[in-house]
Amino acid sequence: MRAVDEFPSGLPGEAVDLLTDGVPAAGGRRVWAVGALCRAVADALETRFNPVAVRGEITGFSRAASGHCYFALKDPQGQVRCAMFRRSASLLDFAPRDGELVEVTGRLGVYEARGDLQLVVEGMRRAGQGALFEQFLRLKAKLEAEGLFDGARKRDLPLLPRGIGIVTSLGAAALHDVVTCLRRRAPHIPVVLAPAAVQGSGAPAELVSALRSLYRAAEAGQLDVILLVRGGGSIEDLWAFNDEQVARTIVASPVPLVSGVGHETDFTIADFCADLRAPTPTAAAELAAQPQETWLAALGMMQERLHEAALRRIDRASQRLDQAAAHLGRPSARTAQQHLRIERQAQRLRFAVAARLQRANDQLLAAGERVRASAAARIERSGRQCERLELRLKLLDPRLVLQRGYALLTDATSGHMITSVTQAHAGQALRAALADGEVDLQVRAPAAQNRP
């Protein structure tokens, strides 16, 4: 690619006159308007490169509601932004996703609204699986051969768990979704949170540590199911859940474990190792806890069946009494006494059944209230802890330092931090971030040159 300063001399004289604003600069050069410069660069790219074919790995892929696709192609040496409009995207015979290695054809240009280099993709085909995806497939094949994905070892979820453990990030939207769902469906079930990072180089170790802490609670009889959840993202974002140590830790769970990582189309090694995969974090919570109303309805049905069974038993006893009375002919005084006694016993039985059902119902409601109060207290304690952590985070805010008169210097072009006079040179454009805004500066001369 040619340097920007070469373009004026590389274009015909008439083009230069049309694209400049007509104001001469020092040395006889004309001053370019920004839009004119972008168009000139686009024209040069069109002449020299287009049409172009590029090979790279997809990252940051997204499909807009309009049907247009936006992503970037990368390799170890660089990255280029890409756009694939709806008509071209509709001709694809596969669904592109992050991590895939592809070859694209298109036209290189400049997106003038931002001055960004952009490749408008007109065609795409697979060129391989991509580095990350190939690692994923290798690990998947290894663990599958060891039997870690075997369906025979996977367990059914308990119908009425004594407690539910959650592993996710404290700041994740997935945590809010799961807690909201559990509070709505089963407020009587205690919830234990083991926070861990779900993205980044340190995330696998934190996930392993969090899972093991919940395993100890499960072995103590406090938990019957564990949820491992996080929201969707690119293959890089979800890579912590493709870690071998995380996979082996999941398989070692003493209780059933549900994986709710990403969206419905995302798959990780954790999904294959878990006892059950849920398409979303909310779906994982729904699978782990049946609605409280379902159990109350079942209890009411059982109460009705027990009452009906007791009535049928009384009816059969009365029928046998009637048959015995018929064999005796006219009832004697003793028979009348026995009949009266049976009636009293039947009445006592009815009252006893009704009282027992009422006691059972009262005990269930009382237990539900105790569990609901316990869950509310746990959630309140977690909320207070989050508030304390938020206060600590605010105290570390660099803007508090800027309010004491300090400034943060960065290179106006590259955005790199300026921490030493050796990084500054005469004529360099800098940007100073102050407490209430930013100021553009220009270096007249480095401080070292002004020393006597």
Judge whether 324 and 400 are in contact, CB under 8 Å. Answer: no
| pLDDT given at position 24 | 52
| pLDDT given at position 20 | 43
- What is the pTM assigned to this prediction? 0.47
Structure tokens at 21: 């604003």
Q: How many Cβ atoms from other residues are within 10 Å of residue 248's Cβ?
A: 14
CA atoms 391, 397, 401, 402: torsion sign? negative
Q: Give burial (CB, 10 Å; 0-12/13-18/19+) of 26.
A: exposed
Judge whether 275 and 256 are in contact, CB under 8 Å. Answer: yes
Order of strands across the sheet that contains 276-277: 191-195, 164-168, 225-230, 257-261, 276-277
Judge whether 228 and 167 are in contact, CB under 8 Å. Answer: yes
Mean pLDDT split into 10-residue runs, the chain, 452 residues: 34 39 56 77 74 89 92 90 92 86 86 79 79 85 93 91 94 91 90 93 94 95 95 84 95 95 85 94 90 75 85 84 71 72 87 86 84 86 87 76 82 86 86 87 71 48
- 106/241 Cα distance (integer angstroms): 35
Compute CA distances 427 → 5, 411, 441, 443, 451, whole Å.
Answer: 17, 12, 10, 5, 18
Q: Which amino acid is at 402?
A: L
| pLDDT given at position 128 | 62
